[in-house]
């Protein structure tokens, strides 16, 4: 199985590509493929030119965290969060959908955040755009329900990763481990379905 992944440099993307080695991973790089070799295409090629590699599954794992009280958020924060957490994911999904429609079949897996469903303090812009992404996935399913394209979505809680340092406060309990994340995503890869998987954990802050 060949999997094209957007967000291969992020923590989740790197964890997937470095551990699930039974798959042929092709990474979309933002600028150049020097560090990836032949299993890579640039973002420019993905959006503007033909995709030479035939792939069965597309995984979307892009985004950035910006956690502040709403009173401290400026317009630059809003624009960056929109670009990273909604606009770019929208364009990635549009390109993948068009590819799979012409191919006749395919699977899409969207890695989302539990912040899209449950409100957390200081998550005004992050949670808002992740919520919009979640609705976009549901709309894509409706628009393509008669096609042989499956769109799965996984809402993950905070993972033990460097991104946790960006979250105000300290999380004492409820973090997901990399191993747990790998098991869930791999299950969706093996059997992609038109459904959302919501991973609930009791998160304790201080």
Tell me which residue range forms the domain holding 124: 2-205
pLDDT at 93: 98
pLDDT at 205: 57
pLDDT at 168: 61
**Tokens 């033990």 — which residue?**
160
pLDDT at 59: 98
pLDDT at 122: 87
CA distance to 28, 92, 169, per residue, from 133 (Å):
20, 12, 26
- Count of Cβ atoms closer than 10 Å to residue 91 Cβ: 14
Closest CA to 158 of 102, 109, 113, 205: 113
How far apart CA 43 and CA 28 sit, in angstroms, is 6
Report, in angstroms and rounded to the nearest whole number, the Rg of the chain calculated over CA atoms: 17
Counted domains in the chain:
1
Looking up residue 28, the CATH number of its domain turns out to be 3.40.50.720
Q: What is the pLDDT along the chain (206 residues), one digit of tens a residue?
A: 999 999 988 899 999 999 999 999 999 988 888 777 778 888 998 998 867 778 999 999 999 888 889 999 999 999 999 999 999 999 999 999 999 999 999 999 999 999 999 888 888 999 999 999 999 999 999 999 999 999 999 999 888 876 666 666 666 566 889 999 999 999 999 999 999 999 986 666 55
Residue 127: in which H helix or E strand, if any?
helix 124-143
């Amino acid at each position: 199985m060949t999997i094209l992944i957007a967000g291969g440099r992020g923590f989740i993307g790197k964890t997937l590509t470095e551990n699930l080695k039974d798959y042929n991973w092709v990474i979309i790089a933002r600028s150049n493929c020097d560090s990836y070799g032949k299993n890579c295409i640039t973002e420019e090629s993905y959006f503007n030119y033909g995709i030479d590699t035939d792939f069965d599954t597309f995984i979307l794992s892009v985004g950035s965290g910006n956690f502040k009280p709403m009173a401290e958020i400026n317009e630059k924060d809003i624009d960056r969060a929109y670009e990273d957490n909604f606009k770019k994911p929208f364009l990635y999904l549009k390109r993948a959908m068009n590819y799979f429609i012409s191919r006749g079949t395919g699977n899409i897996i969207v890695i989302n955040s539990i912040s899209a469903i449950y409100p957390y303090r200081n998550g005004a812009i992050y949670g808002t755009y992740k919520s919009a992404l979640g609705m976009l996935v549901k709309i894509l399913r409706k628009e393509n329900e008669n096609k042989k394209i499956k769109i799965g979505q996984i809402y993950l809680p905070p993972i033990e990763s460097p991104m946790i340092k960006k979250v105000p406060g300290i999380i004492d309990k409820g973090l997901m481990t990399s191993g747990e994340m790998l098991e869930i995503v791999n299950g969706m890869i093996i059997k992609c379905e038109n459904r959302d998987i919501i991973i609930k954990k009791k998160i304790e802050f201080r």
